[in-house]
Each structure stands twice: as structure tokens, then as C-alpha cells.
Chain A
Amino acid sequence: MEIILALMIAVLTSAGIFLILQTRTYPVVLGLTLLSYGVNLFLFAMGRLHIDKAAILGDNENAYTDPLPQALVLTAIVIGFAMTAFVIALSLKAYSKLGNDHIDGMHTKKRRER
């Protein structure tokens, strides 16, 4: 399970970083989303991985899953959601204003037309 989770985080993060480095806004937004997924899994794993353990403190011994990382992930998801919504709205605005979805708003298409 540890291996799968670690690989998931690695794949999500590297895909996110690769997409952030693209020149169009849509891939960049996708990249930011993937990166935040990677972060969320990473935060979750920081409470260590347990199976079949009580959420806070159960009757049996001291074994329990740490609830704090789950609260952190929840907060991070909510914030990430708001940010993604904002950046999508902003890139749509940039698209309508600058006439293309290049991250620097370059008017390549118009130039070719002229």
C-alpha cells in the first residue's frame, strides 16, 4: 500500500509540474489541480497509513489513525477548490480579453492573419 501511494504522489506531482511548465493556460490550470491532488495525498500520508483502526481513540491499545492530517487535507481541498475556480474564471477572462490562451497573452494568431 505504501508503494502504491508513494507512486501515486510521485506521478501526480511530476505530471502537475510538467503541465505547469506548459505555455497554454488550460494545461497550467490542470497542472495546478494535479499538483494539489498530489499534495493532498501527501498530507494524508503524513498521518501514517493504518488499516482498520479507530478514528481517534478506540478501546484497543493505543493504535489509532491520526485525525489531524485528515482535517488538514479537508481544509486544503476546500481552499484548492476555491483557487481552481478562481484561476479558471481568470484564464477564461484572459482568453476573451487577449484573444488566445497563451500564458503571456501573445497575439500569435492575429499576427499570422495580418
Chain B
Amino acid sequence: MHSAILPILTPLLAGFMLLLIKNYGINNQRILSVASLILLFAVSLSALLQVLQHHYIVYAIGGWEAPYGIVLVLDRLSILMVIATSLLAFGALWYAIISDTDKKGAHFHVLFQLQLFGLNGAFLTGDLFNLFVFFEILLLASYSLLLHGKGNGRTKAGLHYVIINLAGSSLFLFAVGTLYGITGTLNIADLAHKISMLPNEDISVIAAAGLLLLVVFGLKAAAFPLYLWLPNAYSKTSAPVAALFAIMTKVGIYAIIRVHGTIFGDNAGGLANYYTPWLLYGGLMTLILATFGVMSSKELKTQIAYLVLVSVSTLLISLAMHSVDAMSGTIYYMIHSTLMAGGFFLLADVIVRSRGKIGGKLIKAPFFEKGVLIGTLFFVFAIAVASLPPLSGFFGKTMILFAAINHQQQGMIFAVILLSSLLVIITLAQTGSQLFYDTENSVEPLKANVTNNDLYPIVFLLAFAPLMVIFANPLTEFTQHTAEMMFDTHAYLDAVLNRSKGAH
């Protein structure tokens, strides 16, 4: 049963092999890169089938059992994130190959695979320090990917991104150190176990460490007030990288679900769910500011970067509600928003390229070739991202709002989410009409080197919006079960700490 480690090994080995064949031309690298991604997808699917049977698959690296060694834990949520990552990566890589982004600098494919290595590792690990290591791996790959190729302002945005994440890593280590100092373990399941029977005098120290971890994950997820790095970094980098980065904020959300949900869950005694108010108010504040950001953006890619923030803050709010229904909605909306944001970044790049010198600025400009087709795609993406029916965003947001009805702060949650949705819809309508209707019709349409080939990866990612609606019933059943399992921390603890009871 090595299925837990295969999604990590596949991109790692592919990355090394890509380094070895760098002299054999870009075409061979592309073939290997795509092949590794298809293999990753196949491996993840087979892992998913096993998870459906066994619920938890615990893989002790080097045969060192938990809590002494590092374990990988494969469960429904982690494998779902791995699959979403591989789908998003497929779209991004496809576009990178078609648009020749990978030729604009050395080692694009290597970095891309190592990024996937870090992401999958962060999703699958069951150890807090190992999570830190995988965070560093995915960050180091992302620093290089962010700076890949040439672009205006990329160095400056990259510098900010790197420095704030390095500071975040230091905080992570402080938190990990404190947790280890008090409990003497770093295994997430063992931490949950130890914290449930903590003496009273240690509680406040652990609470501080937990909030420090929340700051670190909030930084990754770009929650208020740590979101300022995101719009610049995402809008300045190349399109495939920005698309892949749509999953990076979700790593923060995932880490909060995994670490805080397990360690500070319902069984944590005095510390049970003490972090949720921070999440709620942080999420509400982020949502308000992100909506203002969307409205005030003068540039298309910046606007989409703020839309990523809108989806992240909605997820934070729904996490803070802390109920099975809300968690189910969170998971559904997380998959939807990841794939849609990725596709939207790719589409924005096509629009920017089509508009020539004017680029992504939201001002009056001549019409461009294939404007009708691109405009239609923009329209569908806007519907999906603004959570209008009949696409998947509507389902996700409805699930979250349904769960909010029973929450104490329902008035505030409803008001902020609905008002923000309305403002996003208005702004996207305005952007769409600026780009596709309010054009200079007296001049010839701009000739652009955009072919239908450029649009296929975008359509590929967009296709998941209707697909997630058509298969909404099995999908929501899956997310509901997943959410129930996330709240059943006993089963997780049993599976990790006492493997005879688990799947092995």
C-alpha cells in the first residue's frame, strides 16, 4: 500500500528527470512533464478508490510508526485536494506549452513539477514539522516560478512575496517549537491527543502557539491583514503560474482545516474551537476589503487576483461556522473556486495579449479578433466566479449560506456575503462591457496572435463549472461524508496512532 506516497514521488522524480534531460530540447521536456502529470492523475485516482474503501491510509515513512516517525495520511480531503491540484496543473501546463511560456526561461518544467511535489506533500503529511518542510519546498519553487520569464514589476512583487513568506516561516517555527516544548510531539494526531488532556497552566501557551500557526496559515491563505502581497504577486507573474497559484491560497485553508480542525477540534477541552472567532472576523474583514479591491482595480489581472481573495475569504467565513454542512460547502466551493480562478487567469492573459499595447487596463480600446468567442468565455467565467446560477459557484455559495442560517452571527454573515456578491456581479458586468462592448468601433479590430489552441486549456478548466453541477449529487454526498469525517477526529486519531484499527 504505497498509494499515499506515490502522488508525492511522481512529481519529484519527474522533476529530477527533467533536469537530466534538459539538453534534449524543450519538446522532450514537455512530453515528460505532461506524462508525469497524467501519471500523477492516475495515481491519485487509484488512491481515491482506495480511500473510498478504507477511509484512512496511513503510511509510515521508513517504517517508523507514529508518533515517533513521520507519517503520511491519505484521507478523503487530502486526496480531493491532490486531484484538484493535478487538474488545475494540467490546465496551467497545457496553456504554458501552447503559449510558449515555458520557453521564456530555464527550467520551467522542473520548477513546475517541484511545485506540485511541495503541494502534494503539504496535503498528505500528518506531521507538523514535515508540513513546514513541504511549505518551504512549495514556496521555494513558487518564488522561482513567480520570477520566471520577464515581466514588468515581477522582481518587486517577487521580493515582497519572498520576504513576507520568509517572515511567515520564522513564525511557523516559533509555533512548532512551542507546541513541541509543551507536548513533546509533532504528529498532528498525537498533538490532538495530548492537548485534550493538558494541565491548566499550559493552556494559554498552547493557545498562543495555535494562534501563531493561524497567522502563518492566514498569511498563506491571504487573510486580513496579511493579504497585501497577493494582488501584486498574482497579477504580475505569467498566466500559467498565476493559474497554478490559485491552489496556493487553498493550501492555507487546507492547513487550517487539517491542523486546527484536528488539534483544536471539539475534543480539545479548554481550547475547543477557540480559533473560530478569529477566522470569522478575519474572513469578514477580508471579504469586505477584497470586494473593494475588485471594484477599484484598474487592471484586469489585478481584479482577478482580488476575486481569488473574495473566494478565500468566503471559505474562511464558512470554516469559522464550524458545522458539518458548512464544511461540506467549504470543500465544494474550494474545488470550484480553485479551478475557476485558474481558468480565469488564463483567459485574462488571452485578453491582455489580444488587446496589444493597452493590455489589461480597463479603458476604452479597439475591438480585437475572436472578441465574440473570448467575450462569451468571459461571460461564462464571470457567472461562475460571481456565483450566479446555473454554474457551480452558485451551488457552493448556497451550501455555505444554508449552513449559516443556524449560526449566531447569521445576520452579519448573510449581509457581508450577499452584498459582496452583488458588488462583484456589478463590477464584473462593468468590466465585461468595458472590454467587449464599449470599444472603439471606428478602427479596425486588432490583429492578435491568439489561436483557438490557446482557448482549449481555458475551456478545459471552465468545463468543471457545469460538470460540478451535473454531478452535484454524488459530489455533495462525497463532500458531506468528507466533512463528517473531518469532525470525527477520534477516527483520525485511531487510524494514525493505532494502525491495527486503521486501514492497514
Residues of A within 8 A of B (CB): 16, 20, 25, 28, 32, 35-36, 38-39, 42-43, 45-48, 66, 68-69, 72, 75-76, 79, 82-83, 86-87, 90-91, 93-94, 97-98, 103-105
Look across to chain B and name the residue whose beta carbon is closest to the beta carbon of A32. B166
B159 touching A25 by the CB < 8 A rule?
A: yes
Q: Chain A residues near B169 (CB, 8 Å)? A: 79, 83
Identify B162's interface contact among A42, A47, A86, CB under 8 A: A86
Chain A nearest CB from B245 CB (Å) reads: 18
How many residue pairs bridge A and B at CB < 8 Å? 79
8 A Cβ contacts from B235-251 to A: none
| CA distance in complex: A73, B150 (Å) | 36
Q: Residue B163 at the A interface, CB < 8 A?
A: yes
Contact partner of A69 among B147, B174, B180, CB < 8 A? B180
Smallest distance from the beta carbon of B142 to chain A beta carbons, Å? 11
| Residues in B whose Cβ lies below 8 Å from that of A72 | 129, 176-177, 180
Query: Which one of A79, A87, A97, A105 has the highest number of Cβ atoms from chain B below 10 Å of its Cβ?
Result: A79
| Bitwise interface map of B from 109 to 145 toward A, beta carbon under 8 Å scored 1, else 0 | 0000000000000000000010001001000100100
Say whether B178 faces chain A, with CB atoms less than 8 Å apart: yes
CA distance A97 to B154 in the complex (A): 10
Closest Cβ of chain A to B481, distance in Å, is 36
- A105 lies within 8 A of B166 (CB): no
Residues of B at the A interface (CB closer than 8 Å) are 129, 133, 136, 140, 143, 147, 155-156, 158-160, 162-163, 166-167, 169-170, 173-174, 176-178, 180-181, 184, 186
Contact A83 B166 (CB under 8 A): yes
| CA distance in complex: A72, B169 (Å) | 14
From the candidates B136, B162, B181, name the one contacting A90 in the complex (CB within 8 A): B162
On chain B, the residues within 8 Å of A103 by CB distance are 159-160, 163
A102 to B422, CA, bound (A): 40
Contact flag A39-B174 (CB < 8 Å), given A68-B180, A79-B136: yes
Structural contact, A87 and B180, CB atoms closer than 8 A: no
CA distance A93 to B144 in the complex (A): 13
**In the complex, are the beta carbons of A90 and B158 less than 8 A apart?**
yes
Q: Are B167 and A98 in contact (CB under 8 A)?
A: no
Q: Which of B129, B155, B180, B186 contacts A94 (CB 8 A)?
A: B155
Once bound together, how far apart are the Cα atoms of A49 and B376, in whole Å? 66
Contact residue among A66, A76, A91 (Cβ-Cβ distance under 8 Å from B159): A91
A42 x B177 contact (CB < 8 A): yes
For the complex with contacts A90-B162, A94-B155, A104-B156, 7 further pairs of A-B residues with Cβ separation under 8 Å are A20-B167, A39-B174, A46-B177, A72-B129, A87-B162, A103-B163, A105-B156
Q: Is the CB of A46 within 8 A of B178?
A: yes
Chain B residue at minimal CB-CB distance from A48? B181
Q: Is the CB of A39 within 8 A of B170?
A: yes
Known: A32-B170, A39-B174. A97 touches B155 (CB 8 A): yes
Q: Are B166 and A87 in contact (CB under 8 A)?
A: yes
**Is B180 in contact with A46, judged by CB distance below 8 angstroms?**
yes
Across the interface, A43 reaches (CB within 8 A) one of B160, B167, B177, namely B177
Report the minimal beta-carbon distance from B426 to chain A, rounded to whole angstroms.
Answer: 32
Which residues on the A side are within 8 Å of B181 (C-beta)? 45-48
Q: Which of A32, A79, A90 contacts B167 (CB 8 A)?
A: A32
On chain B, the residues within 8 Å of A69 by CB distance are 177, 180
- Given A46-B178, A69-B180, A75-B133, verify A90-B147 contact (CB < 8 Å): yes
Residues of B within 8 A of A105 (CB): 155-156, 159
Q: Report the minimum CB–CB distance from B235 to chain A (whole Å).
A: 16
Query: Do the beta carbons of A79 and B159 come within 8 Å of each other?
Result: no
CA distance A68 to B140 in the complex (A): 25
Ranked nearest first, the 3 interchain pairs of A and B with the lowest CB-CB distance are: A46-B181, A43-B177, A39-B173
Please give, as numbers and ranges, the residues of chain B lying within 8 Å of A35 by CB-CB distance. 167, 170
Residues of B within 8 A of A39 (CB): 170, 173-174, 177
